[in-house]
Structure 1
Amino acid sequence: MRLVTYQNRARTDAARLGVWIDDRVIDVARLAASAGAELPDSMLGLIDAGPGALALLAELCARHAGQWPAHTSLWLDNVRLLAPIPQPRKNIFGIGLNYVEHVAESSRSLDTSAQLPAQPVVFSKPPTSVIGPGDAIEHNARITRQLDWEVELAVVIGRQAKGIAEAQAMDHVFGYTVINDISARDNRRAGQWIFSKGQDTYCPMGPCIVTADEIPDPHDLALTLKKNGELKQDSNTRHMLFKVPTLIADIASAITLEPGDIIATGTPSGVGAGRTPQEWMVPGDVIEAWVEGIGLLRNPVVSI
């Protein structure tokens, strides 16, 4: 299923949980109520509710496919898609230098080591950095002149993980989404990345979460990024240095992963810092990050 957090464009409703099916968004809580059942009206609520809730939702969608009960569906054009998890409970886990070619380009342009990391390189992005499809990436020229892009596959955790083996790691995955790991390259501080990567609007996310059953192999997905329609990044998740189970087990060896936690798994080569000459995002640009099987995340860049 493609799960979304949405608002009705015609009203100022609070954000609600939906299922994106063809050209419609089906409201999860209202669909359940129409069948005399109950399901959460938020993404975190659904994740917390566990596999049984997801199974009930799948059964209801199959039962009513194409014939949605009254007041349960909206045309896609009539909704505004938000970040699937608009307010994560804690920082997003980011993974640096997780594609071999990106390690090489970073060593040339960002003074990082040319040696492949022996362990995952983990940083974080605060919840306040999250924005959704269509929301603006803020360019503050007083703070940065080197605003860069990074398309990434992101993993959403479905149940608590602590001290688990890699062999069990995938059992803890709820689904996948797209993240653009925006980075102010001139804001790195003594090797610490959180100010560079954690500023407001620096974590576009969306357009949906695709449940894990729909993506049996997260290590065979094309991913691209375009700036103003021009292809900048073009790769495949098979080129990850550390695969998803390794990332989950590594983080969970010391930090408890909880339902709703998000891991952005790293970016391939083609970032602006690695280009010759270097290239940065500026106000007026439109950035499109895409991952196969999940969808397109489009955001404009604006001056503040």
Structure 2
Amino acid sequence: MFDIILLILSVLSLVAIVIIVGRKFPQLAQTNKKTIQQVREDATKYKIIGSRLERKIIKISSYIIKALRPIYVRIINLVKEIYEKVVHLEKQYTKMSNQKKNGVIDPQAHTQFTLSSEIDGLIEQEEYEQAEKKLIELISNDSREVEPYRRLGELYMTIKDLEQAKETFEYILTLDMKHKEESEVIDGSDDADVAADYINLGLVYRDLGLVDKALETIEKACQLEGNNPRNLDIFLETSIIAGNKISAWEAFDRLKKVNPENKKLEEFSVKIKELEKVTKIKSA
């Protein structure tokens, strides 16, 4: 009897549960749908926010890289300049040290070292006239050494004595070619230095108004150092000044390849297109 009563109560409880769930099911289903929809909306929202944040980070990073690149280039050039001076002085010092070890001190080598140090100080203090005299003295002691001529040429460029600079760099390139033909190992006569000599002479020609000659000379530098951004920049700039759109586009493509972040590329592109328009008008 007790078992029958227990069974009846269990059945009634089950029926009650079914009735309650049946009444509440639409509400539960609707709530579940709303929850799923909310989750989807939140996921979409966070995805959009995440993508936007990612784009902002990339954009800001790009601005930072572009802003820091010129500073980086200046630092590299400064380090290179200091390094070249240190190497030059180190070679002179090594030469003197070796002579001292062998019990022989070359008075000329000692004089060259001393003069070179004095010249550095004079140029730093902008005592250009005294620096010129010392450089000429340095050259007279050893006329086969190329570096003093280079420094003299750069000094003339600094003080805008263009004729003297022109003569000096023309002579330097004669020495460069002579050393190359004789297959002599001369300090500072590698391709990078020779290319720099061509660039300096080209800039002097350009300042003198000899634009075509400048372009031809600067192009030789780019043949020696084809991936040097500074050389290509000068080559492109000179091509535009000379009105040579063919060499201008050639230089533009090469510069874009080796230095795509160059801020002047857009400006150069506009100038070349303007040059093309002028050429078309003249030929019409």
What is the TM-score normalised by the length of structure 2? 0.24
Higher strand share: 1
Higher relative contact order (CA 8 A, sep 6+): 1
Query: Higher Cα Rg: structure 1 or 2?
Result: 2
